[in-house]
DNA sequence: AGAATACGAAACCTTTCGGTTTCATATGTT
DNA sequence: AACATATGAAACCGAAAGGTTTCGTATTCT
């Protein structure tokens, strides 16, 4: 049991605004589908499908209670996103540094900004 | 000039694996389209369209040099993603705390985990 | 000037996405 | 038992996504 057939990853899951709202709604409380769908301007079935996508990505857990199914957030998969993002974080700093250098020098002949950024650091990961 | 007609946001832009690879490729070096497309198993035009989506989201900047257009990463819009993610970060900790409590107590009648998580913290941030 | 290169726009195709409506089923209520 | 409630599955639909091929145009090279 390594990979339980993902079919939907975190990146896809959070791409849709409705699904991001869903995550936020379920962040601290568990809710059944009918209640959840009350917060959205679409059919219950549509909401249910969004919940399925989120569940596929592991961002939401379902629990059956009597005739209702309650959903709640599971933030774990967001770690992958965090890791992905972390890789790019240093480039904010680099960009600032490059800008600084550019402002301090006067070699702005029209193609400097890119050059300033070009060779700051090199890294090929994967 | 406030919002330049977004049309594609960061969340959509990074949803596609090809586009994530593009970002990584352009992270430290500037490249023209033809060279870029050499890294992908699809037509140059297809890559070009992906680059447009990234540019729409502001994740990539283009610069014309002679007959070629060079692209490079602009990590700025990732800040929005970082902010979004930061909101959920505390819940990793909360989840661990809830788990700890659950393990230490013995009220595991079958529906404890959800309850343990349910009331840890309450926050409604639009 | 003429040929080659770099690129985007446009038209087109197939698959996925986000949504709806309808139906079947399980559970709860009287 | 009969009815109501909660939900997912299925069939369907229009629009968007991701791709291709073809074409037009700007730039560079001989």
Q: Which backbone phi and psi does A70 adopt, to 5 degrees?
A: -105, 140
In-domain check, residue B1: no
- DSSP for A21-74, please give it: HHHHHTSS--EEHHHHHTTSSS-HHHHHHHHHHHHHTTSEEEEEETTEEEEEE-
- Please tell me which of the candidates B73, B118, B125 has its beta carbon nearest to residue A91: B73
Q: What CA–CA distance (Å, rounded) separates A54 from A13?
A: 6
Contacting residues for A105 by C-beta, under 8 A, at least 6 apart: A112
Cβ–Cβ gap A118/B72 under 8 Å: yes
Do B49 and B91 have their domain in common? Answer: no
In this structure, the answer to whether residues A57 and A34 fall within a common structural domain is yes
Q: Is the CB of A22 under 7 A from strand D?
A: no
Give the model's pLDDT for residue B99.
66
Per-residue model confidence as pLDDT tens digits over B71-92? 999 999 999 999 999 999 988 7
CA angle, B63 as apex, A84 and A82 as ends, to 5°?
10
B47 shares its domain with B101 = no
Backbone angles phi, psi at A54, to 5 degrees: -65, -40
A113: nearest CA in chain B?
B63
Residue A1: the pLDDT is 54
Query: Which of A115-124, B28-37, B57-66, B77-86 has the weakest average pLDDT?
Result: A115-124
Interface contact flag, B78 A95, Cβ < 8 Å: no
Is residue A126 one of the residues assigned to a domain?
A: no
Structure-token match 């249910």, residue found: A48
| Per-residue confidence (pLDDT) for residue B102, from 0 to 100 | 62
CB B69 within 8 A of CB B34: no
Does A87 or A112 have the greater pLDDT score?
A87
| Residue B5: inside a domain | no
pLDDT for the residue numbered B105: 61
Residue B124, in any domain of the structure: no
Least confident of A10-14, B26-30, B40-44, B121-125: B121-125
The answer to whether residues B106 and B57 belong to one domain is no
Total number of domains in chain A: 2
The reply to whether A53 and A15 lie within a common domain is yes
How many secondary structure helices (H) and strands (E) does chain A include? 6, 3
Residues A15 and A63 grouped into a single domain: yes
Which neighbouring-strand residues pair with A89? none
* Within a domain: B123: no
B82: closest chain A residue by CA = A85
Contact, A14 CB vs strand D, < 7 Å: no
Regarding whether B91 and B55 lie in a shared domain, the answer is: no
Residue A3 lies in a domain: no
The reply to whether residue B118 touches residue A84, judged by beta carbons under 8 angstroms, is no
Contacts of A74 in chain B (CB under 8 A): 95
B87 and B57, same structural domain? no
For residue A61, give the chain B residue with the closest CA. Answer: B114
Q: Give yes or no for A66 touching B (CB within 8 A).
A: no
Instruction: Give the residue numbers spanning the domain of B66.
Output: 10-73
B68–A contact, CB cutoff 8 A:
no
Q: What are the backbone angles phi and psi of residue A73, rounded to the nearest 5°?
A: -65, 140
C-alpha dist (Å) from residue B5 to B1, B72, B97, B124: 10, 21, 43, 29
A77 contact to strand D (CB, 7 A limit): no
- Given this model, what pLDDT does residue B7 score? 80
Q: Are residues B33 and B82 in the same domain?
A: no
Interface contacts (A, B; CB < 8 Å):
102
Q: Name the residue closest to C5, CA to C1'.
A: B67
């Amino acid at each position: 049991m390594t990979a339980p057939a993902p079919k939907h990853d975190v990146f896809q899951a959070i791409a849709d605004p409705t699904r991001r709202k869903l995550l936020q709604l379920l962040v601290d409380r568990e809710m059944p589908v009918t209640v959840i769908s009350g917060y959205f301007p679409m059919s219950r079935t549509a909401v249910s499908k969004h919940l399925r996508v989120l569940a596929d990505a592991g961002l939401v857990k379902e629990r059956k209670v009597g005739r209702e199914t309650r959903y709640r957030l599971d933030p774990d998969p967001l770690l992958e996103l965090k890791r992905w993002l972390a890789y790019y974080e240093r480039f904010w700093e680099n960009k600032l540094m490059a800008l600084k250098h550019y402002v301090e020098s006067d070699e702005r002949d029209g193609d400097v900004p890119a050059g300033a950024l070009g060779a700051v650091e090199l890294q090929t990961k994967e």
